[in-house]
Amino acid sequence: MDNVCLPHEVWKEIADTFQIIEEIDELEEYFPRDFLDYIKYHAENKNSIPFDLFEYRGLDGEDANPDAYIRELLSVKRKIDMGQTEACMDALDNLKDYGIYHAYEDVERLKIYIKQLEENAAEDTAEIQKEMCCFD
């Protein structure tokens, strides 16, 4: 399988059609348990990324690499959420090379800008407080 990042609805249809959840123990004789658990998890849980917001960026669908794009976008998102924003703007800019766009790119950019604004405001506040101390 080249593309395993599928919408929840697709995973649910696969699980329902092949009765994966109901027959998981029996199917384990033919398929690895991790594989079956993977399908079960995705059939029972909604995706963290809305697939209907994807757009192609100039490449035709054959040349785009959606799974790699999603993995990279989510990797950047995790770093930003942990406060490790260094090089994340470049990583977001490099996502265009995958031939796909998702609005979450802009959300992550906004998070970086907000963090920068907060850091600048904190530095300005510290500088003002420092200057005020000198007037006593």
Answer yes or no: are the C-beta atoms of 99 and 133 closer than 8 Å. no
What pLDDT does residue 3 have? Answer: 59
Mean pLDDT score, 28-49: 90
Q: pLDDT by residue (tens digit) across 99-108?
A: 899 999 999 9
Which pair of tokens denotes residue 21?
């959840």
Of the candidates 99, 21, 23, the one whose C-alpha atom is nearest the C-alpha of residue 56 is 99
- pLDDT bin (cut points 50, 70, 90) of residue 29 is very high
Region of 19 on the Ramachandran plot (φ > 0 left; ψ -120 to 50 alpha; else beta): left
Of the candidates 113, 107, 84, 83, the one whose C-alpha atom is nearest the C-alpha of residue 95 is 107
- pTM for the complete prediction? 0.69
Token match 């407080």: residue? Answer: 129
